[in-house]
Amino acid sequence: AAAVAKFSGYKTKNRMLNMLPNGSIPKKILSEIFKEEGKSVGIVTTTRITHATPAAMYAHIRDRGAEDVIALQMLKFEPTVALGGGAEYFLPKEEGGKRTDGINLFDEFKKKGYVVVRNREELLKVDPSKTDKLLGIFSYSHMAYEIDRENVPEYQNQPSLAEMTEKALEILSKNPKGFILMVEGG
């Protein structure tokens, strides 16, 4: 509810994203206004990219728990940069995810011109001068805590919040009209 108030200017009920308490959709949220003005929108988080705070940048839904639907809304919204966790809501069950519609959202983002990266090494190799849209999903659910990322070998393939933010800024700052970037250490 706090992120919704911040990005929409409206109060809402807990668990709702960018909807008024009566279930109606308010006027445009900040990120939608930025996109209409030709500005770029970026989302960086260590949570699932479909989790409440990052989803408040693009989703309109009654239940923040419907993260498979929220992932589809992110595809429709098309942020310039989206980096975080949550592959479970991008992959169909047949491919180890939780999607019941059979859609592989990584493929769908690629069809829309996104560079899609899945680990730290791939992210660091992204050339911002040649990348206009970037999706990076680095874990099945939430990303590891920084102390675990640094000390547990299985998490060292995840980028840090600082690395994700730096790459996002490199891409977003190319837009002469400006950008908005939400960064969350969740």
For the segment 38-79, what is each residue's pLDDT rounded down to a tens digit? 999 999 999 999 999 999 999 999 888 989 999 999 999 999
Can you tell me which residue has the tokens 């919040």?
161
Q: Which of 125, 122, 119, 123 is nearest to 158 (CA)?
A: 119
The reported pTM is 0.95
pLDDT at 145: 96
Distance between CA atoms of 156 and 120, rounded to whole angstroms?
8
Across the chain, mean pLDDT equals 95
Task: Tell me how far apart the alpha carbons of residues 65 and 20 are, in angstroms, rounded to a whole number.
Answer: 17
CA–CA distance, 62 with 183 (Å, rounded to integer)? 23
Q: What percent of the chain has pLDDT over 70?
A: 99
pLDDT at 93 over 90: yes
Residue that wins the pLDDT comparison between 97 and 7: 97
